[in-house]
Amino acid sequence: MIVLLFLAIPSFQLLTAQLTPPENPDLTLKATGNQWYWSYEYEVGETPLSFDSLMMKEEDRASLGKEDKHEYPRLLAVDNEVVVPIGKTVRVLVTAADVIHAFAMPAFGVKIDAVPGRLNETWFKAEREGLYYGQCSELCGKDHAYMPIAIRVVSEDKYKTWLAAAATNVGDANKALMASIDGAAKTVDVAANAAQ
């Protein structure tokens, strides 16, 4: 009993710290679970940016520019990723439009229920650029397995450029962002090969 008590006290402190969001988040994002996709709304500026994110269909790979199956795996890649800046605190408000869903992003230690009529809150701070995948983790109907979550973490400059372009067309903004990332990666690869 004493050993369990010694384990419980630091555990409760850790859980409290993990679930307590910072006072002033850098970005607030609302995620709404639908049968069977996610809707996102960025609370930025006077007109919020909102879009839907559906699992990418295999026949749409070429048109979306996501032919690399290693980077965009089957059943995890989406048509529109959430884009966030690196090193910034992102508050996520989670709800559902129809049945109970769950917003789960294991790489960021985030898993929270999306309940109709209720607004749950969580947060994360991504420390490394890249594309991260998660899924709905609450059985929500026949297509539960087909509602992935994709979050792309980019530099502050790329995020601001994407945000400005996404205000008019999210699809084109995503393609431009992917092109800038692919171009930077190729430049680094060439430099690395030249050094060898």
Domain containing residue 101: CATH number: 2.60.40.420
Q: Is 1 domain-assigned?
A: no
Does 3 map to a domain? no
Q: At what angle do helices 170-195 and 156-166 cross, to 10 degrees?
A: 150
Q: What is the pLDDT of residues 31-74, one digit of tens each?
A: 999 999 999 999 887 778 999 999 999 999 998 889 999 999 99
The number of distinct structural domains making up the chain is: 1
Of the listed ranges 10-14, 34-38, 97-101, the least confidently predicted one is: 10-14
Instruction: Determine, yes or no, domain membership for 11.
Output: no
Residue 6: inside a domain, yes or no? Answer: no
pTM of the model: 0.84
pLDDT value at 150 more than 50 = yes
Average model confidence (pLDDT) for the chain? 88
Task: Give residue 126's pLDDT.
Answer: 94
Dig out the tokens for 8 from the structure: 């419980």
Domain carrying residue 169: 24-195
pLDDT tens for 84-93 read 999 999 999 9
Locate all alpha helices (DSSP H) within the chain, ordered by sequence: 2-19, 61-64, 156-166, 170-195
Distance separating alpha carbons of residues 190 and 196, to the nearest angstrom: 10
